[in-house]
Amino acid sequence: MTCLRRPRACRIIAFASFAVALGVIAPAAAQSVSVRQPWIRGTIAGQKATGAYMEISSTAFARLVAAESPAAGAVEIHNMKMEAGVMKMAAVTGIDVLPGKPVHLAPGGYHLMLLELKRPLKAGERVPLRLSFELANGRRESLRLDAEVRDLAGKPPHAH
């Protein structure tokens, strides 16, 4: 195609290229946040909550601000810490993820709480999660992933 034969098409392509260069239209490959080894602690019958854990990395400042899963009525971001010799857990509004400094969501620290579970979660299953991040420029970014359900002790299922 030459611009002499299709000037309108060339203008559209030029505008789209310019918009991508300015960051107005974000290319799909611009995802700055990544997650490694997501897992969820398995549950027993009647249990209505469990924790989800993972390692979150980012190439730019990001703040985990929300999470959701079809397996739970609600998902909250929590932190556990020792206060006056007592381990306490509380919801937090978010977790900062600095460039090049992975954040570990692990038992005894930051984690996601899956509340109002709709059914027991069994080792070996995969549970969908959607994490929402706020970036330094105010833009929101979502990341969908499947987390492996591990046994009650947090051990991965045996490979056969």
For 98, which DSSP code? B
List pLDDT tens digits, range 32-84: 899 999 999 999 999 999 999 999 999 999 999 999 999 999 999 999 988 89
Question: 149, 126 in Cβ contact below 8 A?
Answer: yes
Structure confidence by residue, pLDDT tens digits, 128-141: 999 999 999 999 99
